[in-house]
Amino acid sequence: MHFDLADLRLFIHIAESPSLTQGARKASISPAAASARIKGLEESLGSRLLYRDSRGVELTPAGQLFLQHARVIMRQVDYLKSEFTEHGAEAAGHIRIFANTTAVTEFMPELLAIFLAERPGVTVDLQERLTRDIVRGVRDGTTDLGIIAGPVKAEGLQAIRFSTDHLVLATPLNHPLALRRSVKLSEILAYPHIALQEGSTLLSFLKEQVELLGHSLSMRIQVYGFEPMCRMVEAGVGVAVLPESSARRHKRTMNLAVIALDEEWVTRERSILVRDLDALPKVIRALIAELVAFGEDSGVADSKPGRDGQRNGALSPRTNRR
């Protein structure tokens, strides 16, 4: 069995493109040369990796497996390069992050602004994804780390819990539920809801809980982000379920009532998912340390050990963080 890094990178380009021709263009080689290299790969492995027809290419089951390993190998190569840049191990590199809605819209922009300002050579690709896609991305090497909330099955991955939040109900001040101390999910289904956009992790989770009750969520409008959600609630358009940290923050500037949800699933532990913490470049471990520090500074850090047996303190955040 023989193949080189150029073969792996070419295969990744083709697998992520609609056709062999476009994949070859990304790899800066001719389609004929790309086809020959893929054929050589298949002969070396003794397995067919691609189905080819006039519409493009499709991965075979063997191709899916090969893609997963190729991504992991090439990401480790990129890690190796970043560790030996002339700028220093923590000053340069590229980080890809798959995260849930709360992370992408609430705390990651501010945290990354400080982190990147101190490291001009670092670039970040932050993408909002559903929890299942975050787990899959970390597992197959598509992303360097994932940020999730709530329980998740992530066998074979390391989970570092860094903070806890709770889901609450936000209503206008004159709403019939505004003076309640707590409500059940079943009690709020009769009211129109302000929800996040389709594909958001919070909306998907909430729909699952409503479906378990045999109902469907009555959505009056869907918005991008918790600030427009709260503005809609303040205007009397409907009610909304959102993280308590977001609700309390927007309540300072908006006329909102924040009511506890009396459900077992409202507590949402935030976790960082990685394949192998020790194998990550220093710049990525530095970002993880900043996330842990964020949890500690917010006063809601979870001290329970993750799947790797480490407590949050196992990652030492910088003492000069802002």
What are the CA-CA distances from residue 52 to residues 7, 10, 16, 18 (Å)? 18, 16, 14, 11
Class (C level, CATH) for 85-162+268-314? alpha beta
Please say whether the beta carbons of 284 and 144 come within 8 A: yes
End-to-end CA distance of the chain: 51
78 pLDDT more than 80? no
* Half-sphere exposure for 214 (CA within 13 Å, toward CB): 0
Q: Which residues contact 111 (CB under 8 A, 6 or more apart)?
A: 290, 291, 294
pLDDT band at 301 (very low <50, low <70, confident <90, very high): very low
pLDDT band at 75 (very low <50, low <70, confident <90, very high): confident
Of the given ranges (52-56, 89-93, 97-101, 252-256), which has the lowest mean pLDDT? 89-93
What's phi and psi for 247, nearest 5 deg? -60, -45
189 pLDDT more than 70? yes
- DSSP for 54-86, please give it: TTEEEE-HHHHHHHHHHHHHHHHHHHHHHHT-T
Average pLDDT estimate for 40-62: 82
- 142-151, 183-192, 278-287: range with highest mean pLDDT: 183-192
320 pLDDT more than 60? no
Of the given ranges (125-129, 140-144, 315-319), which has the lowest mean pLDDT? 315-319
20 pLDDT more than 80? yes
Q: Given 1.10.3720.10, 3.10.129.10, 3.40.190.10, 3.30.465.10, which CATH number is that of 164-266?
A: 3.40.190.10
- Say if strands 193-196 and 145-149 run parallel, antiparallel, or are unpaired: unpaired
pLDDT band at 303 (very low <50, low <70, confident <90, very high): very low
**If one looks up domain 5-81 in CATH, what number appears?**
1.10.10.10
Q: Share the mean pLDDT of the chain.
A: 83
Report how far residue 69's alpha carbon sits from residue 140's, in angstroms, rounded to the nearest whole number: 7
Q: Where are the domains of the chain?
A: 5-81, 85-162+268-314, 164-266
Note the pLDDT tens digit of each residue in 170-180: 999 999 999 99
CATH topology agreement for domains 5-81 and 85-162+268-314 = no
pLDDT at 232: 95
- Exposed, middle or buried by CB within 10 Å (0-12, 13-18, 19+), for 226? buried
What's phi and psi for 304, nearest 5 deg? -70, 145
Q: Which residues contact 176 (CB under 8 A, 6 or more apart)?
A: none
List the beta bridge partners of residue 151: none
At 151, list the tokens.
């329980």
Q: Which residues contact 275 (CB under 8 A, 6 or more apart)?
A: 72, 138, 139, 141, 156, 157, 158
- Residue with more model confidence, 85 or 153: 153
Average pLDDT estimate for 49-72: 82
- Residue with more model confidence, 21 or 232: 232
At 129, list the tokens.
């994804």
